[in-house]
Amino acid sequence: MNKAELEKKVGKITKDVEEKITSMGAPVEEITNDSVSVEVFPNRPDLLSLSGFSRSLNQYLGKEKIAKFKIENDKKIEKDYKVKIDKSVKKVRPHTACAIVKGLKLDDEKIKEIVDIQEKLHMSIGRKRKKIAIGIYPMEKIKLPIQFMAKKPNDIKFVPLESPGMKEMTGAQILRGHPAGRDYADLLKDAEVYPIFIDANNKVMSMPPIINSHETGKIDEKTKEVFIECSGFNLPYLKKCLNIIVSAFSDMGGKIYSMDIEDSVDGNFVSPDLEPEKLEFKVSDMNKTLGLELDEKEVKKYLEMMGIGFESNNKKTFALIPAYRTDILHWIDLTEEIAIAYGYENFKPEIPAISTTAEEDKNARTKKVIANILAGLGLLECSSFHLAKKNDVKKMHYEMTNEDFIEIVDSKTEYDVLRVDLLSNLLKIFSENSDSQYPQKIFEIGKVFEKDKSPLAKRSETGIIEKEKLSVAVVDESVNFMDARQILDYLFKMLDIEQDKYKIEDVENSDYIQGRVGKIVVHGKEVGFIGEVAPRVLKNWKIKMPVSAFEIDLEALGMISN
């Protein structure tokens, strides 16, 4: 927001006001000499315009009363103030909500604000124009009444805004050849017909959600009156969006005029409707949820700070929700409004005396025990990412194909798969720490992932099996199999797995040196591997010294249960 423009409306932005803005629920990100940036949460699109933001801030600071928006022609709507929704458009973009605003005195700053709010609404509640597309037209260029209809892409012909060479284009050409057309082509991808607004002279005004016509043009400093439409799929949202825009226009000094929307399919209505919505609530519910003891008067005060009206009669209490608020679905949404007005910093934190029993997860405790045993042997615990790089995994598991990997879609990082083992991570650590003191003895406990290939009925919820594993690795100039074996023996002994309950069975595994690798079998069940890592693997990782390691499945070992 332009700081000078904002200060015109709300007064000087002091440190104190800055804090108030954050307490109001729009955390200040940066204030410079000429701009103020705040974060607006998705539930408050009405704060996205300078007008809307300063309206709410002034109310919050107690400088402004609840906004009342007047409809100039509420007694009788002029005959031509009409938008007819043709049946043809129902298949592609079924709804629109429209309004007329007059008496505007626009300047550069205001025009910028209008363009800006339109863009921000498109991006946020409009979901990049998919749900809502907004059009604003200077009244002097169009003739009422207006029709919202759909035609075949090739039957639509007009000169779009920013048309290359000011050429007339068909609907289909715009999607292929116009920059905005290409950007939003997806939104009309499979449509047989494209929606258009046309005026009483049959001139195409726009083809939502893509582009306006060059002829009906853009608003400029000479524009005094505008026609506004919001088109999309969900009428209640469209109405709210329109309300946000017209309230902002009204704050700029515009006068709002209603239109008749003729919809032979879903029913006629008058647009816009700026009557506040009346929502019944109980003060006691507010107090119970917030842990406060407010009376009606206080609740009224706090709601009004948030721009919400308050009414009570016959022992019933009502909140009057301004037409531009999209986020108040039921009474629970009022609790936050009151909390914000009360001030989060003014709540007294309290811990209630409710009796519950604490309990640590048993598996987590077991893992801690194992980690402590190994730390006691002088091993360093490491902690690496659960995501891995496919190429790193293949340094050991060269036989893995793309099929075997659990891949990430469009990762923004270099990590593109879920890890399949822990030992690869430990080798990576050795590879990156060749300048650190030797010997290096490390371990990690954590999850590894594999595809669940069992039939659908038996498959896990996510189709992925997550296994809790332990890996230990030692590297030094003269490390051999025994260095890992020693650690395994001690660990098993401490876990009460006696020597006669497990054995290391000779096995073929080219990840390790032949004759120095074995399957670890406990109570007749295979739980993992132990061995000297094959020189091929060490070379791949650029590790210059021998590595001896083991990796075991803690669930198979019976240490962890699911």
Partner 1 sequence: MADKSSEKSNEKINGDERIVETLSPIERKILPVLKKHALDIDSISGKAEGDKTTALRALEFLKNKGLVEIDEQKKKIVQAGINGLFYLKKQLPERRLLNELAKRNMIPIKDVEKLGLNENEAKISIGVLKKKAVIDLKNGNIILVGNKDEIARKTLEEKLLESLPRDLESLEPQEKLAFENLKSRRDIIEVIDEKKVSVKLTALGEKVSKMNLKEDLIEQLTPKIIQTNAWKGKKFRRYDLQTSGKKIYGGKRHFVNQATDYAKSIWMEMGFKEMTGTMAQTGFWNFDALFTAQDHPVREMQDTFFIKNIEGKLPEDKIVKEIRKAHEGGIEFDGKSKGWQYKWDENVSKKVSMRTHTTCLSAKTLKKIAEAKEFPAKYFALGKCFRNETVDWSHGFEFNQTEGIVVDENANFRQLLGYLVSFFKKMGYEKIRIRPGYFPYTEPSLEIDVFHPEKKKWLELGGAGMFRPEVTIPMFGRHVPVLAWGPGFDRIIMESFKIQDLRDMYKNDLTKLREMKFWRK
Cα–Cα distance, 130 to 88 (Å, whole number)? 19
Q: What is the 3-state secondary structure (H, E, C) of 334-351?
A: HHHHHHHHHCHHHCCCCC
Q: Measured from the CB atom, is 208 or 446 closer to partner 1?
A: 446
User: What phi and psi, each to the nearest 5 degrees, are found at residue 5?
Assistant: -60, -40
User: Least CB distance from residue 355 to partner 1, whole Å?
Assistant: 7
**SS3 letters for 169-206?**
EEHHHHHHHCHHHHHHHHHHCCCCCEEEEECCCCCEEE
Residue 329 touching partner 1 (CB under 8 A): yes
Report in angstroms the alpha-carbon separations of 383 from 154, 241, 347, 422, 542: 60, 48, 39, 10, 21
Q: CB 32: neighbour CB atoms within 10 A?
A: 8
Residue among 15, 79, 412, 453 that touches partner 1 (CB under 8 A) = 412
Q: Is 37 in the site for partner 1 (CB under 8 A)?
A: no
Interface segment toward partner 1; rule CB under 8 A; list 19-27, 57-65, 80-88, 222-230: 19-27
Give the shortest CB-512-to-partner 1 separation in angstroms: 23
Contact code string over 453-482 relative to partner 1, x by CB under 8 A:
---x--xxxxxx-x----------------
Query: What x/- string results for residues 122 through 161 when contact with partner 1 is judged by CB under 8 A?
Result: -----x--xx------------------------------
> Which residues, 189 to 208, sit near partner 1 by CB under 8 A?
none
- Residue 82 interacts with partner 1 (CB under 8 A)? no
**Which tokens in the block code for residue 461?**
């919820």
DSSP state of 454: S
Q: How far is the CB of 365 from partner 1 (least distance, A)?
A: 9
Kindly identify the residues of this chain, within the stretch 237-266, that bind partner 1 according to CB under 8 A: 237
The secondary structure element, H or E, covering residue 271 is strand 269-271
Q: How far is the CB of 68 from partner 1 (least distance, A)?
A: 25
Contact call for residue 290 and partner 1 (CB under 8 A): yes
Which lies closer to partner 1 via its Cβ, residue 202 or residue 355?
355
For residue 429, the minimal CB distance to partner 1 (Å) is: 5
Spatial neighbors of 188 by CB under 8 A, at least 6 apart, are 92, 175, 194, 209, 210
Asked if 386 touches partner 1 (CB under 8 A), the answer is yes
Kindly state the tokens that stand for 68. 């009342």
Q: How far is the C-alpha of 363 from the C-alpha of 559, rounded, in Å?
A: 8
31 binds partner 1 (CB under 8 A): no
Q: How far is the CB of 341 from partner 1 (least distance, A)?
A: 10
Buried b (16+ CB within 10 A) or exposed e, 449-475: beebeeeeeeeeeeeebbbbbbbbbbb
Q: Residue with structure tokens 């020597």?
A: 499
Closest CB 436 distance from partner 1, rounded Å: 4
- 474 with 380: CB under 8 angstroms? no
Closest approach of partner 1 to the CB of residue 67, in Å: 21
Closest CA to 242 of 223, 266, 270, 221: 270
The nearest distance, CB 85 to partner 1, in angstroms, is: 19
Q: Which of 357, 401, 478, 499 is close enough to bind partner 1 by CB under 8 A? A: 357
Residue 351 in contact with partner 1, rule: CB under 8 A: yes
Take residue 391 and report the two structure tokens written for it. Answer: 């190429």
User: Could you give the string, one character per residue 208-237, with x where binding to partner 1 holds by CB under 8 A and - elsewhere?
Assistant: --------------------------x-xx
| Residue choice 59, 96, 247, 440 for contact with partner 1 (CB under 8 A) | 440
Selected from 375, 398, 493, 542, the binder of partner 1 by CB under 8 A is 375
Give 132's Cβ-side CA count (13 Å radius).
28
DSSP string over 462-506: TSEEEEEEEEEEEE-TT--HHHHHHHHHHHHHHTT--GGGEEEEE
Q: How far is the CB of 326 from partner 1 (least distance, A)?
A: 10
- Record the tokens describing residue 442, joined without a space: 């490390």
Going from the C-alpha of 21 to that of each of 4, 24, 61, 530, the distances in angstroms are: 16, 5, 9, 61
User: Rg of the Cα trace of the chain?
Assistant: 34
Nearer to partner 1, 300 or 419 (CB): 419
Options 41, 105, 266, 454; binder of partner 1; rule CB under 8 A:
41
Q: Does 398 bind partner 1 (CB under 8 A)?
A: no
**Residue whose CB is less far from partner 1, 39 or 505:** 39
Specify the residue, 2 or 22, whose C-beta has the smaller distance to partner 1: 22
How far is residue 242's CA from residue 101's CA, in Å, rounded to a whole number? Answer: 12
Task: Write the Ramachandran bin of 121: left for phi over 0, alpha for psi from -120 to 50, otherwise beta.
Answer: alpha
Q: What is the rounded CA–CA span in Å between residue 14 and residue 303?
A: 24
Is there binding between residue 431 and partner 1 (CB under 8 A)?
no
The partner residues of 281 in beta bridges, in order of sequence, read 317
- 420 sits near partner 1 (criterion: CB under 8 A): no
Smallest separation (angstroms) from partner 1 to the CB of 196: 25
Distance of CA 19 to the CA centre of its chain: 26
E-strand spans in 10-127?
A: 28-31, 36-38, 82-85, 95-102
406 binds partner 1 (CB under 8 A): yes
Total residues contacting partner 1 by CB under 8 A comes to 95
Does residue 305 touch partner 1 according to CB under 8 A? no
Which ranges of 37-178 would DSSP assign to H, the alpha helix? 50-60, 108-123, 171-177
Q: Which is nearer to partner 1, 110 or 419 (CB)?
A: 419
Stretch that binds partner 1, among 169-177, 180-188, 257-265, 339-347 (CB under 8 A): 339-347
Among 77, 111, 172, 377, contact with partner 1 (rule: CB under 8 A)? 377
Binding mask 84-123 for partner 1 (x = CB under 8 A): ----------------------------------------
Q: How far is the CB of 216 from partner 1 (least distance, A)?
A: 30
Select from 2, 37, 384, 480 the one that contacts partner 1 (CB under 8 A). Answer: 384
Closest to partner 1 by CB, 106 or 374: 374
